Amino acid sequence: MLDWREREEKLLAPWAMHAADSRGRVHAEPLHVHRSPYQRDRDRIVHAAAFRRLAHKTQVFTDYHGDYHRSRLTHTLEVTSIARTMARALSLNEDLVEALAMGHDIGHPPLGHAGEDTLHDLLADEGGFSHNAQALRIMELLENRYPEFPGLNLSLEVLDAQMGRCDKSAENGRLLESQVVDAADSIAYDTHDADDAIELGLVALDELLELPLVKAAAERVRDRFGELVGGELRRAVLHDLVNVQVVELIDRTQRHLEEQAIASTAEVLAAGTLVTHSPKTAEGKRQLERFLFERVYRSPSVMAVREPAQARLSQLFEWLVAHPAAMPARFVDRARHHGTRRTVADYIAGMTDRFLEREHAKRCV
């Protein structure tokens, strides 16, 4: 029977991050006999309370009732699926990719980007709020499941990748596993937000079909399946959009690796971004994202429910700042040592949408 070291040696490319070469953890732990360090990272994230709460946190559409559109958890699983496909094709470390993908959004507060924007404004004098930085706080400090250390004590490679998400201006020093997860995240939220927006009646498929990236997908679908209509056309087009982007990224990344003769993770870290779309696809994505921002994320109907939800979050925040003893004991203790406003933000950021609503109704109404 192969142990995890032997398995990785047989399956992973030289440009992949081998767990045997991990720099370890902040708090040293003995290696597990059956699970690699990155398997353990993935499992720790999946078992974390912050991960479970993603099931009841809005992805985009605050206060829209229904069972079709994405939550933060379903988005996370879709990102993981896309990233794992790319990782396997490129012979990367799938365990590390899964850990990065499963953990990339655990710092999101309730109410989606509306909640994040509100907390950022409320903490303007405290350094602001970012879901990427909050994920790092959860990983290193806030999630308490083990008696030996605070946080989850994840591998340094996972922490480094999350720090890279906090500062996306840094081009160097990113493992391919991290680049693949970022690319998968972009594909998932562009495509699936469009799907949810159509389902909720915020935009029509015909409007999306005017965008070059989506129009090209529809042409490929019709060439393959003939004249589809309605839901069949929508599903086929969105599936094609994901597939074409993933295949292009795999092919271009492989070509970059070969052209630059990259044969180690050290060379990956020095090479800058290797997982890139073609200029045509990149421009198509920018057009799609502009459309989503203008017609969906900032549409009058979305803003009409977003703004009252943000007001409720702000009211609860200020009430808790004035009454910090109402928080659970561990947050009361943290407030004494780390400041009330940041601690209240930590507490609210961990809430689900429905728990936020219950707390607001109990405290502020």
Which among 106, 104, 114 is positioned nearest to 54, based on CA atoms? 106
What residue has token string 């943000």?
310
Q: Report whether 80 contacts 104 (CB < 8 A).
A: no
- Give me 84's structure tokens: 């794992």
d(Cα 75, Cα 233) in Å, to the nearest integer?
22
| Cβ-based neighbour number of residue 152 at 10 Å | 27
| Amino acid present at 239 | H
Own/partner long-range contacts of 260-264 (Cβ < 8 Å, ≥24 apart)? 262/15, 263/14, 263/15, 264/14, 264/15
Q: Give residue limits of the domains in the chain.
A: 4-364
Q: How far is CA 19 from CA 24, 93, 206, in A?
A: 9, 8, 47
| Amino acid present at 137 | R
Q: How far is CA 165 from CA 130, 159, 160, 182, in A?
A: 10, 10, 9, 8
Q: Report whether 18 contacts 4 (CB < 8 A).
A: no
- Bridge partners (DSSP) of residue 155 are 25
d(Cα 268, Cα 11) in Å, to the nearest integer?
18
The dotted CATH code for 4-364 is 1.10.3210.10
d(Cα 185, Cα 164) in Å, to the nearest integer?
14
Which among 86, 80, 93, 69 is positioned nearest to 19, based on CA atoms? 93
> pLDDT tens-digit profile of 159-208?
999 999 988 766 557 999 999 999 999 999 899 888 888 888 889 999 99
d(Cα 212, Cα 3) in Å, to the nearest integer?
48
Could you tell me how far CA 92 lies from the centroid of its own chain? Answer: 19
d(Cα 87, Cα 300) in Å, to the nearest integer?
39
pLDDT (0 to 100) of residue 169: 65
- Nearest 5°: phi and psi at 71? -100, 175
d(Cα 267, Cα 257) in Å, to the nearest integer?
10
> pLDDT tens-digit profile of 253-290?
999 999 999 999 999 999 999 999 999 999 999 999 99
pLDDT tens, N- to C-terminus, the chain (365 residues): 669 999 999 999 999 999 999 999 999 999 999 999 999 999 999 999 999 999 999 866 555 455 545 689 999 999 999 999 999 999 999 999 999 999 999 999 999 889 999 999 999 999 999 999 999 999 999 998 888 899 999 999 999 999 999 887 665 579 999 999 999 999 998 998 888 888 888 899 999 999 999 999 999 999 999 988 888 999 999 999 999 999 999 999 999 999 999 999 999 999 999 999 999 999 999 999 999 999 888 888 888 888 999 999 999 999 999 999 999 999 999 999 899 999 999 999 999 999 999 999 999 97
Q: Report whether 24 contacts 80 (CB < 8 A).
A: no
